[in-house]
Structure 1
Amino acid sequence: MGVAINSIVGRKSYHCDLLFRVIDIKENNGAKTAILYGEDYRLIADAPFADLVTIDSEERSKISREFRSLEAQSLELFQQDIDLLRQKREYEATNGYSQDFNYFHIPGRVLHLDGDPSYLKKCIDLYEKIGVKVYGVHCYEKDMPQQIGPLIDKFRPDILVITGHDSYSKSKGKKTDINAYRHSKYFVRTVIEARKKVPHLDQLIIFAGACQSHFESLIHAGANFASSPLRVNIHALDPVYIVAKISFTSFMDQVNVWDVLRNTLTGEKGLGGIETKGVLRTGAPYKPIVED
């Protein structure tokens, strides 16, 4: 079967280590090049047709099972963290369980801006499974700096995710040169525009970046968390775990950076951040409205 739009392929030169989805095909002087999006990692790449091999459904299922197993392990560990946070909130809200009254929680609003619609759907599904309320918007990376201001005005988020696809190209410059990255400069501009709206780091918590993104520039632009310190690939769902940890942490508590990173699929090589407060607020008493 030949390579076509939406084909699932591997790159022979990389021993088919990652699965990619063909999202576009370019032709120049008879030579065809495919534009690729990672199936499980937020990586964008291009490759000549001669370097591509289509992955059949059986092999794809085998690789997918391995990734789903990692996702399940990460989710299980994360759920344990959430349970501990919930127990701590109950203990504090009831004055060490010495008082019996109902209380309620006001979680933060999350705006997730994603350059890939299929990844956005995967993330939304996980947010819902974990119990985080989110507004998801698909927006191509190049358009994000212009779109972010009106979106912040519309949704007034407490947490903002700016992600999609990215990659570093050695042929375009050193790792310190932001122009050697596919989309990092757009992520940086988007963070800068967001900080013009909400300058305070604890009033709007920002995660920004994708695979191999220019971590230092994103942090200096005003992101609380970003990728990728060692320019490695990050998993499609990693931003969700970071956001969820912040969402379930009280605004009275700091979010420990290492606690945030330990249950992500990528870890500290691909993700990093700065000291940040949680966003969850607890109130009491909870009185349901009873209709007459």
Structure 2
Amino acid sequence: MNIEINDVVGRLSYRCDILFRVIDIRMIDGHKTAVLYGEDFRLIADAPFHDLKKMDPREQDRITQEFRSKEEQSLDLFRQDIELLKYKQEYRVTNAYRDDYNYFQVPGKVLHLDGDPSYLRKCLDLYEKIGVPVKGVHCSETEMPNQIGSLIDKYRPNIIVLTGHDAYSKSKGAKADINAYRHSKYFVQAVREARSKSPHLDQLVIFAGACQSHFESLIHAGANFASSPSRVNIHALDPVYIVAKICFTGFKDSVNVWDVIRNTLTGDKGLGGIETKGVLRTGMPYKITEEE
């Protein structure tokens, strides 16, 4: 079979339900094997060539359209949430609209580390659409524990996202064994490093994990939100929806966990967390310059 790096493929044993891109080709136990990254899910996998099908453009379009439709639905619901949050802040600042104050809002700053440059670009595009201040850094999952400390010192974020690709392998151990996961232990180490910089859960909010990640270890390490409680795949954009909701929630208000994850593409099987305060701050007065 003529499969090359960067080809889009599906796994026959899974009825080609997820699109993958071939990122490497290796010989494993004498079999030609492809290393795969999910196109829409934060999943990394190995598959022998005999289990792969090269997807033609029409098949890719059909599957991609299904995901894009879900993304648009989720984005529409999220925008409604953001509008409601803005109205709530406006109501509070203007004393139930009795006072005519000029005010401005400062959402939290996000530092997003991603092991996949393609996913990072998708996430940065979504942050821009929503209006979240963000610094994106492409960093391999294995290097995140070494890089996170200096990046926190440099960018001073309110929220950190540590994500990329992950996967659980039954052949490597039970689900409780973190060594049975491709990158979970590196996410855990990075969370611990970040928490050593800022121990308070409401002074630095952390999302960590990818597809099938060891949720419990990430929460115990100090993450506010993480994947994946039921060890399922998470969508590439799910971390953005979570941190953006926190960005636009006032710092005096707590974010209900269900309110954060209900409009994500994965839901509570793939995402979870602990009660966390928002990071949005309101100021005044807002002065309009002559140029405006």
TM-score by length of 1: 0.98
- In structure 1, how many angstroms separate the alpha carbons of the residues matched to 2:109 and 2:127? 12
- Please state how far the C-alpha of 1:290 moved relative to its aligned partner: 4.8
Asked if 1:141 corresponds to 2:176, the answer is: no
Find the counterpart in structure 1 of residue 11 from structure 2.
11
- Please state how far the C-alpha of 1:289 moved relative to its aligned partner: 4.5
Q: Deviations over 1:139-169 (max 9, x none)?
A: 0000000000000000000000000000000
- In structure 2, how many angstroms separate the alpha carbons of the residues matched to 1:28 and 1:67? 32
- Please state how far the C-alpha of 1:284 moved relative to its aligned partner: 1.1
- In structure 2, how many angstroms separate the alpha carbons of the residues matched to 1:21 and 1:173? 26
- In structure 2, how many angstroms separate the alpha carbons of the residues matched to 1:157 and 1:289? 29
Find the counterpart in structure 1 of residue 132 from structure 2.
132
- In structure 2, how many angstroms separate the alpha carbons of the residues matched to 1:20 and 1:283? 46
Letter in 1 for 2:24: D
Find the counterpart in structure 2 of residue 183 from structure 1.
183
- Please state how far the C-alpha of 1:250 moved relative to its aligned partner: 0.2
Asked if 1:255 corresponds to 2:232, the answer is: no
1:103-114 correspondence to structure 2 within 5 Å: 103-114=103-114
Find the counterpart in structure 2 of residue 57 from structure 1.
57
1:160-171 correspondence to structure 2 within 5 Å: 160-171=160-171
Find the counterpart in structure 2 of residue 84 from structure 1.
84
Q: Deviations over 1:3-44 (max 9, x none)?
A: 110000001111111100000111257531100000000000
C-alpha change, 1:43 and 1:157, in structure 2 (3 Å) is same
Q: Deviations over 1:159-199 (max 9, x none)?
A: 00000000000000000000000000000000000001111
Find the counterpart in structure 2 of residue 201 from structure 1.
201
Find the counterpart in structure 2 of residue 286 from structure 1.
286
Q: Deviations over 1:43-64 (max 9, x none)?
A: 0000011111100001100110
Letter in 2 for 1:78: F
- In structure 2, how many angstroms separate the alpha carbons of the residues matched to 1:129 and 1:38? 23
- Please state how far the C-alpha of 1:2 moved relative to its aligned partner: 1.7
Find the counterpart in structure 2 of residue 67 from structure 1.
67
1:262-273 correspondence to structure 2 within 5 Å: 262-273=262-273
Q: Deviations over 1:193-220 (max 9, x none)?
A: 0001111100000000000000000000
Letter in 2 for 1:77: L
RMSD in angstroms over aligned alpha carbons? Answer: 1.1
- In structure 2, how many angstroms separate the alpha carbons of the residues matched to 1:120 and 1:142? 16
Find the counterpart in structure 1 of residue 172 from structure 2.
172
Where does the alignment leave 5 or more consecutive residues of structure 1 unmatched?
A: none
- Please state how far the C-alpha of 1:288 moved relative to its aligned partner: 3.5
Q: How many residues align?
A: 291
Runs of 4+ with >2 A deviation: 27-31, 288-291
Find the counterpart in structure 1 of residue 240 from structure 2.
240
- In structure 1, how many angstroms separate the alpha carbons of the residues matched to 2:240 and 2:143? 22
1:115-130 correspondence to structure 2 within 5 Å: 115-130=115-130
* Local SS of the residue matching 1:233: coil
- In structure 1, how many angstroms separate the alpha carbons of the residues matched to 2:28 and 2:192? 36
